Amino acid sequence: MQRMGPRRRRNAVALAAIVSGAIACSSLTGCNSVYSEGATAGAGIAGAAIAGAVTNNAAVATGIGLGAVAAARAGVQYSQRVVHTDTQDKIASAAGPLAVGAVAPWRATHSVPIEEDEKGRVTVSRTISSGTLDCKEIVFSVDRDATQNRAADSAFYVASVCRDGDKWKWASAEPATPRWGALQ
């Protein structure tokens, strides 16, 4: 049986700690920052382990590490975009059939809990166009229930939705930058 050296043992322990944290986080909601930082740290450790096994050249090792971190960040951003698109689709689906002034609830339940499940209300404030290009301006809320540490509150946003065949889809380029940042 081959014995691990001290360096490999430290890398294995660190990687095991990150994997354990990710597994624990997957059972909780709202672990977006832990998910993002954990993926970056895990990529850094994995990149260092690979670089240590492949080369003794510091420049090559740095390149491997930076590449691993960049790939991890891109993966995190992709998964966040998938979650945001799902939420936007849920809001658009609730808003599409509404007449101007009508209000309906919406709810997004995420299968991967990197963000909290969300809910709110949506109303159509005006019809932008109808006919071959059906589009509506909507106002939606994101409602948070009261907890022991905070009062219930709502945040409101404006967006546009358009019909795409039988479905209503999100049509805004910048509906809520403070809400989703650059990760529409």
pLDDT of 18-36, one tens digit each?
Answer: 444 444 444 444 455 545 5
Q: What angle do CA 172, 174, 176 make, to 5 degrees?
A: 105
**What was the pLDDT predicted at 97?**
94
Q: At 36, is the secondary structure helix, strand, or coil?
A: helix
**What was the pLDDT predicted at 5?**
53
Q: How confident is the model at residue 177 (pLDDT cuts 50, 70, 90)?
A: very low
Q: What angle do CA 55, 52, 18 make, to 5 degrees?
A: 150
Pick 4 or 56 by higher pLDDT.
56
* CB distance 104 to 113 below 8 Å: no
